[in-house]
């Protein structure tokens, strides 16, 4: 598997990740701003997009979703708790932020513990509510795609329908995996679990401080 990060896309500076397989197929983690930009990267890598895995349903992670699916006819996966956001500009906060929105229908439900596979690539789903009710992380061999659950030195905001106590519980689940995974977040730079457990100022309660 190859991982190509596309960082800081659009007004919200949203990250997405292209996972390429040995057979030149691809999984995309989140679908933020500009289907054209993402498609150009896929083309430059010689990859065919087969699946889009959404970490949650907020507008800055789904803006390119409909455009990409029209081009590639790919499968889309999202937690049932966030699925309604894909068709509702109010629920996904596009109306609140005044951002472009095109509804999408037909996503497949994904649940805690589910495994998504494509060729040799395997990703395990971990439900991590808090930033949104249906936020999930995707775990590969050595990294976790954390969406807006955990960032370098920060965590996802919870003032727009989230719950901070629930978010901390979800991050605790990441630490309980018992391994120092690299984290590839939905915004900002990569980090790793041990660094965040030790230094992230928003996780003081998990450290007993």
Q: Say whether 55 sits in a helix, a strand or coil.
A: coil
Give yes or no for a contact between 55 and 148, defined as CB atoms under 8 angstroms apart. yes
pLDDT by residue, tens only, the chain of 209 residues? 999 999 999 999 999 999 999 999 999 999 998 999 999 999 999 999 999 999 999 999 999 999 999 999 999 999 999 999 999 999 999 999 999 999 999 999 999 999 999 999 999 999 999 999 999 999 998 999 999 999 999 999 999 999 999 999 999 999 999 999 999 999 999 999 999 999 999 999 888 76
**pTM metric for this prediction:** 0.95
CATH number of the structural domain 2-207: 3.60.15.10
| Helix residue ranges per DSSP H, 46-145 | 65-72, 94-97
């Amino acid at each position: 598997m190859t991982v190509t990060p596309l960082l800081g896309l659009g007004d919200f500076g949203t990250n997405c990740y292209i996972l390429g397989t040995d057979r030149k197929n691809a999984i995309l983690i989140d679908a933020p701003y500009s289907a054209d930009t993402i498609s150009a990267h896929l083309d430059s890598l010689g990859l065919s997009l087969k699946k889009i895995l959404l970490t949650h349903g907020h507008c800055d992670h789904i803006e390119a979703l409909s455009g990409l699916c029209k081009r590639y006819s790919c499968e889309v996966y999202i937690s049932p708790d966030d699925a309604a956001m894909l068709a509702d500009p109010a629920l996904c906060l596009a109306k609140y932020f005044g951002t472009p929105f095109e509804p999408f229908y037909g996503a497949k439900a994904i649940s805690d513990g589910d495994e998504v596979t494509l060729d040799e690539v395997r990703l395990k789903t971990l439900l991590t509510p808090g930033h949104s009710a249906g936020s999930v992380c995707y775990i590969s061999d050595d990294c976790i795609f954390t969406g807006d659950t955990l960032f370098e030195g920060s965590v996802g905001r919870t003032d727009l329908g989230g719950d901070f106590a629930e978010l901390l519980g979800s991050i605790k689940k990441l630490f309980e995996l018992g391994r120092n995974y690299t984290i590839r977040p939905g915004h900002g730079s990569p980090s790793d679990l041990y660094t965040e457990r030790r230094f992230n100022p928003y996780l003081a309660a998990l450290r007993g401080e």
